[in-house]
């Protein structure tokens, strides 16, 4: 069988790439080794975690916010089995949606593990060992990533789990120990904390959310502590002993070395990051270069081998679904003779906890390190009428704008619906806008978005409501 394009992997990068290429008239096939399409994101990542985050947040609201709103429902009772059904139904609706879209766009789906014997060829090995060879003008590798392992610690997905196992627990752990204070660890930790687990987080660095704005991370840590989280920062897990009767003893040492202590947990979640997934692709045979596991690409997503491209988690840049999607669109457009492009300076990153944390562009620390003069504008949700009406006033909006030109260089939000609020700043930055542009844009009242406008006004020291 002969194609213009074979895409390996149908995560957000791969399936979006395939659809855009088909829209542009290319003959496209996809190869996926999972039973369902949608990749990490739809099957075991973004979607199931958000289904559980939403459900557990509703549980928390019913327990703690409803009474203050004048709603009495009694003590809410957890039906974890139904919550997991909700999660699975959400996954099913999304993965079936992708299968439908592939069909609608006349894309041929192949199920099996793909390997690349040479440019122009993809071999698909099905579960029963049968192979099929596809001929193609171009290949896009979109094989994503997997949970990174903690040296010396074996995950059994029962007591010591990755994010995948942590989204499938059938009972609420009494004590959950999370290794790693990044986005995934804190999101999944929040789910189980809201449902009753005592959550302890061990982090190697002396801060949470590495890479995010320091001031935001500090405030977020305080909020999580109020929610019952315990943090051991500047600490490393050196050993996990799983007991026969269940549970584990975790040995923790200061990151810089020193006396070890032990912590007990029913479940240990290893969330120390993700590693690019190129297993079984046979990149050596095809001569495709990798660097620290990631497929090396140029500015147009091309590897060192003509006709072979790569996108998403398997290449450089933030491991985010929307980054993978945008790269999928861009490479499809390039292959169709257009000028696909991704603006890496305007990719938002969200932590879907309560409150949410959202960021785009540079942090204050990055601007200081680069010697760029900047102005700061901040506005707290305590001064926003809508946030008060919702009783969700934790957090603030922070703008960073160029001191001379007023161009927005970054925006960081911790607060209710921060993930949605950041969208207008993303558009603003995409168009090279200034804080003044946003400050002079009419915002509906009463909305949380008014806090974003007020923070933009605060860059010029003229917020109205503060």
Please, which of residues 172-191 interact with ligand FAD by CB under 6 A?
184
- Residues in region 271-310 near ligand FAD by CB under 6 A: 277, 280-281
Comparing CB distances to ligand FAD, the nearer of 131 and 264 is: 131
Token output for 106:
């006349």
Place of tokens 């039906």: 79
Contact region for ligand FAD (CB under 6 A) — 25-33, 78-86, 88-96, 378-386?
A: 25-33
Q: Work out which of 5, 6, 7, 11 binds ligand FAD, going by CB under 6 A.
A: 11
Task: Tell me which stretch binds ligand FAD (CB under 6 A): 31-39, 70-78, 200-208, 409-417.
Answer: 31-39
Among residues 26, 49, 56, 401, the one that binds ligand FAD under rule CB under 6 A: 49
Taking the C-alpha atoms of residue 406 and residue 404, their distance in angstroms, rounded to an integer, is: 6
H or E stretch covering 138: strand 131-141
CA end-to-end span of the chain, whole Å?
A: 66
Q: Does 29 bind ligand FAD (CB under 6 A)?
A: no
Asked whether position 21 contacts ligand FAD by CB under 6 A, the answer is: no
Single out the residue of 3, 5, 7, 12 in contact with ligand FAD (rule: CB under 6 A): 12
- Which listed residue (111, 339, 392, 445) is catalytic? 445
Q: Which is nearer to ligand FAD, 48 or 307 (CB)?
A: 48
CA–CA separation, 328 and 7 (whole Å): 10
Quick check: 330 and 340 in contact, CB under 8 A? yes
Report the distance separating Cα 263 and Cα 448, nearest Å. 41
Minimum distance, C-beta of residue 360 to ligand FAD, in the bound complex (Å): 13
Give the residue, chosen from 27, 34, 137, 443, that forms a contact with ligand FAD under the rule CB under 6 A: 34
Distance CA(377)–CA(393), nearest Å, equals: 18
* Tokens linked to 441: 């844009």
- Residue 194 as a binder of ligand FAD (CB under 6 A): the answer is no
Q: Are 408 and 434 spatial neighbours (Cβ–Cβ below 8 Å)?
A: yes
- Strands (DSSP E) found in 151-205: 160-161, 175-179, 198-202
Q: Is 113 in the site for ligand FAD (CB under 6 A)?
A: yes
Q: What is the DSSP letter of 174?
A: S
Distance CA(368)–CA(451), nearest Å, equals 25
Q: 465 is written with which tokens?
A: 């409501």
Torsions phi, psi of 202, nearest 5? -110, 125
163 lies in the site for ligand FAD, by CB under 6 A:
yes
The nearer residue to ligand FAD, 116 or 457, going by C-beta atoms, is 116
Which of 71-79, 197-205, 223-231, 320-328 is the region at the interface with ligand FAD (rule: CB under 6 A)? 320-328
Q: Is 31 in the site for ligand FAD (CB under 6 A)?
A: yes
Binding flag, residue 449, ligand FAD (CB under 6 A): no
Query: Hey, what are 79's tokens?
Result: 């039906």
> Near ligand FAD by CB under 6 A, which window of 292-300, 319-327, 337-345, 372-380?
319-327
Give yes or no for residue 33 binding ligand FAD (CB under 6 A): yes
Active site residue 37: no
Q: How far apart are CA 5 and CA 336, in angstroms?
A: 10
Helix, strand or coil, per DSSP, at residue 46: helix
Find the Cα–Cα–Cα–Cα dihedral 270, 274, 279, 285, rounded to 10°. -150
Establish if 457 lies at the interface with ligand FAD (CB under 6 A): no
Q: 154 — phi, psi (to 5°)?
A: -100, 130
Site for ligand FAD in 380-409 (CB under 6 A): none
- Residues lying near ligand FAD in the complex (CB under 6 A) are found at 8-14, 31-34, 39-41, 45-46, 49, 113-114, 142-145, 163, 184, 277, 280-281, 312-313, 319-322, 324, 352
> Which positions are catalytic?
445
């Amino acid at each position: 069988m002969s194609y213009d394009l074979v895409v390996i992997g149908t995560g957000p990068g791969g399936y979006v790439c395939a659809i855009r290429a088909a829209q542009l008239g290319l003959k496209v096939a996809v190869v996926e080794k999972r039973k369902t399409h949608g990749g990490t994101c739809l099957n075991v990542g973004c979607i199931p975690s958000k289904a559980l985050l939403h459900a557990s947040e509703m549980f928390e609201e019913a327990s703690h916010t409803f009474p203050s709103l004048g709603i009495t429902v009694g003590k809410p009772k957890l039906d974890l089995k139904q919550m997991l059904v909700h999660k699975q139904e959400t996954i099913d609706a999304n993965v079936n949606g992708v299968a439908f879209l592939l069909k609608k766009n006349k894309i041929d789906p192949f199920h099996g593990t793909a390997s690349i014997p040479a440019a122009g060829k993809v071999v698909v090995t099905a579960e029963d060992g049968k192979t099929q060879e596809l001929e193609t003008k171009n290949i896009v590798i979109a094989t994503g990533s997997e949970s990174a392992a903690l040296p010396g610690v074996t995950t059994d997905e029962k007591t010591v789990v990755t994010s995948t196992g942590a989204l499938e627990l059938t009972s609420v752990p009494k004590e959950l120990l999370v290794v790693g204070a990044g986005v995934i660890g804190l999101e999944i930790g929040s789910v189980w904390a809201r449902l009753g687990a005592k959550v302890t987080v061990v982090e190697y660095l002396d801060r949470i959310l590495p890479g995010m704005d320091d001031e935001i991370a500090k405030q977020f840590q305080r909020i999580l502590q109020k929610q019952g989280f315990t943090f051991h920062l500047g600490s490393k897990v050196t050993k996990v002993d799983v007991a026969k009767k269940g549970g584990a003893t975790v040995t923790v040492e200061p990151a810089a070395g020193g006396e070890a202590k032990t912590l007990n947990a029913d479940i240990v979640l290893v969330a120390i990051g993700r590693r690019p997934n190129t297993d079984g692709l046979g990149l050596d045979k095809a001569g495709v270069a990798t660097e620290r596991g990631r497929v090396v690409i140029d500015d147009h997503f091309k590897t060192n081998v003509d006709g072979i491209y790569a996108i998403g988690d398997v290449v450089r840049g933030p491991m985010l679904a929307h980054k993978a999607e945008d790269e999928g669109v861009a490479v499809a457009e390039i292959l169709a003779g257009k000028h696909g492009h991704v603006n890496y300076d305007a990719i938002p990153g969200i932590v879907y906890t309560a409150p949410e944390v959202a960021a785009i562009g540079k942090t204050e620390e990055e601007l200081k390190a680069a010697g760029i003069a900047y102005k700061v504008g901040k506005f707290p949700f305590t001064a926003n009428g809508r946030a008060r009406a919702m009783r969700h006033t934790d957090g603030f909006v922070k703008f960073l704008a160029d001191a001379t030109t007023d161009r927005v260089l970054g925006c960081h939000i911790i607060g209710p619906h921060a993930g949605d609020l950041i969208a207008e700043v993303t558009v603003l930055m995409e168009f090279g806008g200034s804080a003044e542009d946003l400050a002079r844009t009419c915002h509906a009242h009463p909305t949380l978005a008014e806090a974003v406008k007020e923070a933009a006004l605060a860059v010029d020291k003229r917020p109205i409501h503060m």
